[in-house]
Amino acid sequence: MAGPSKEQVLSELKRIANPLGGGDIVATGMVSDIFVNDGRVMFSLTVPADKARELESLRASVETAVKGMAGVERAMVALTADVKPGSRPAAAPPAAQPGGHAHSHGHAHGHSHGPAGGAPQKPGVPGVRFIIAVASGKGGVGKSTTAVNLALGLAANGHKVGVLDADIYGPSVPRLLRLSGRPQVIEGRTLKPMENYGLKVMSIGFLVEEETPMIWRGPMVVSAITQMLREVAWGELDVLVVDMPPGTGDAQLTMAQQVPLAGSVIVSTPQDLALIDARRGVAMFKKVEIPVLGIVENMSYFICPHCGGRSDVFGHGGAKHEAERIGVPFLGSVPLELKIRETSDAGLPVVATEPDGPHAAIYKAIASEVWASLTGDTANRRVAPRIVIE
C-alpha cells in the first residue's frame, strides 16, 4: 500500500487542536515542514520552551494519530523548543512510557561531558563516552572526508568508534563508507546502526533516497538528528564522531546547544575566505561553551606525482596561523592528494584500505591529538609525518 501524501498528513493534523489555543496545530504554526517518503513521516512541533514538559503528551498523541494513517510504516514527531533570545531552555520533558520517547530534549539517562562552571548539562547517550563534532564554517572543504578518516584513525588507534552523519542536506557518509540499505528496527523504535570498517554508522542517507531533496527548516533538522542520536543502539563507544552540517546557522547552533558534545574539530582550507568561515565556527562553539579541540587544515598543499614539486594551491599555513592567533590547537595538515579523493569517492577510505600508508599516518596522528585532548593523555600523542615524494 502506498504511503500518504504530505497533504493527507496535513489534513489529519488539522483535526488536532493546539492545547495552547488559537486553532489547530497546523493553523497556529506549530508543525514544521513535513517529510514523507516511502511510508515514513517525519516532522516536529515547535512549542514554547517553558511548555515543553507539559506538551510531551501532545507529541505522543500526534505521533499516534499519524501512525494510524493508512500506509504509514514509521512516524517520528519531535518537540522543538522555541527559546526566546536571552532565555534558557526548559528542562527536558520526562521520558515517555514504553512505546514512545521524549524528543528534542533527550532522555534522562547516560552521562554528559558538557563544560563545567554551572552551565546546564545536556543528557548523554548511554554507552557513549565522548561525542565530538567535526564542523566547518562553509561547505566544500572536505569536512565529511575528514570526519570519516578521523573516525577510522581513532579506531585504528584502538578505540571503539561510531559515526553520526548529521549533514542532513548532503549526507555523504554512506558513500564514503560504502554502505547502503535500510537500518534494522529493533525494540520498537530503536534503529540498529549499519557497520563497515569497524565503525558503527547512522545517517539520514539510509532513510531517504540519495536524490531526494531535503528541504527542511532548522527545527526539523535538529529533530531528525536527535532521533538518530538517541534512538540508535550504539552500544559501548569510546567516541561518537558527528559529521555536522556545514555553516554556522540556527540549525548548527541549536544542535551544539542540545547535543552533549565533548568537543569540536574545525576543518578549513588555507585560503583566507575559508579561514574567515572557520573563525565563525570556532566562535559558535565557544559561544555555547563547547571546547574546540583544534583545527585541521585540509587540502593544505599539493605534491606533484611526476616531479615531486610542492604547490600551495590555496596558500600555505593559513589554518595553523589562524589557530595560533585565536588560541586553539592546530591538529595537522592534510594534503590535496588524488589518492584521498579517489579512495573517498569509491567508498574505500585511505585509513581503512591503506592503513600503513603516509596519508593514513596523518589521520592517525590527528586522531591521537584529538584523543589526548579529550582524555588529557598527552604522553601518547603521535607526530604527523611529512609526506615526501621521491
> What confidence tens digit (pLDDT) does each residue in 164-218 have?
998 877 788 999 999 988 888 887 778 899 999 999 999 988 877 655 655 566 6
Is the pLDDT at 368 greater than 70? The verdict is yes
- Which tens digits make up the pLDDT trace of 307-364? 665 555 555 566 677 777 778 888 988 877 777 888 888 889 999 989 998 889 999 9
Residues 6+ apart with CB under 8 A from 327: none
Query: Which of 328, 332, 222 lies closest to 282 in space, CA to CA?
Result: 328
Average pLDDT, the chain: 77
Contacts of 64 (CB under 8 A, 6+ apart): none
**Which pLDDT does position 66 carry in this prediction?**
93
What are the start-end ranges of the H helices in 126-271?
Answer: 143-156, 173-176, 218-230, 250-258
Strand-pairing partners, residue 165, are: 203, 243
Q: Could you tell me which of 156, 130, 133 has the C-alpha nearest to residue 146?
A: 133
Q: Where are the alpha helices (DSSP H) in the chain?
A: 6-13, 56-67, 143-156, 173-176, 218-230, 250-258, 272-287, 318-326, 338-345, 350-353, 358-375
pLDDT given at position 118: 40
115 — pLDDT class (breaks 50, 70, 90): very low
Q: Pick 128 or 121 by higher pLDDT.
A: 128
Instruction: Please state the rounded mean pLDDT for residues 284-294.
Output: 85
What's the pTM value of the predicted model, to 2 decimals?
0.68
Angstrom CA distances, 173 to 51, 163, 178, 245, stand at: 36, 8, 8, 12
Q: What kind of fold does domain 128-375 have according to CATH? A: Rossmann fold (3.40.50)
Helices (H) and strands (E) in the chain, counts: 11, 15
Fold of 6-82: GMP Synthetase; Chain A, domain 3 (3.30.300)
Inter-helix orientation angle 318-326/272-287, to 10°: 30
pLDDT > 90: what percent of the chain? 29
Residue with cell string 595537522: 332
Q: What is the pLDDT of residue 241?
A: 96
Pairing of strands 330-333, 292-297: parallel
- In the chain, where the domains are located: 6-82, 128-375
The pLDDT of residue 387 is: 44
374: burial class by Cβ within 10 Å (0-12, 13-18, 19+)?
A: buried
Condensed to tens digits (0 to 9), the pLDDT of residues 48-90 reads 877 877 888 898 899 899 999 998 887 878 777 654 444 444 3
pLDDT at 271: 59
Does residue 366 surpass a pLDDT of 90?
A: yes
All cell numbers assigned to 360: 593514513
Provide the pairing of β-strand 185-186 with 237-243: unpaired
End-to-end CA distance of the chain: 62
Cα distances from 312 to residues 269, 277, 301, 333, 363, in angstroms, run 11, 20, 5, 12, 20
State residue 131's pLDDT score.
94
What pLDDT was estimated at residue 246? 79
What pLDDT does residue 381 have? 55
Answer with the residue of higher pLDDT: 114 or 212: 212
182 compared with 134, residue with greater pLDDT? 134
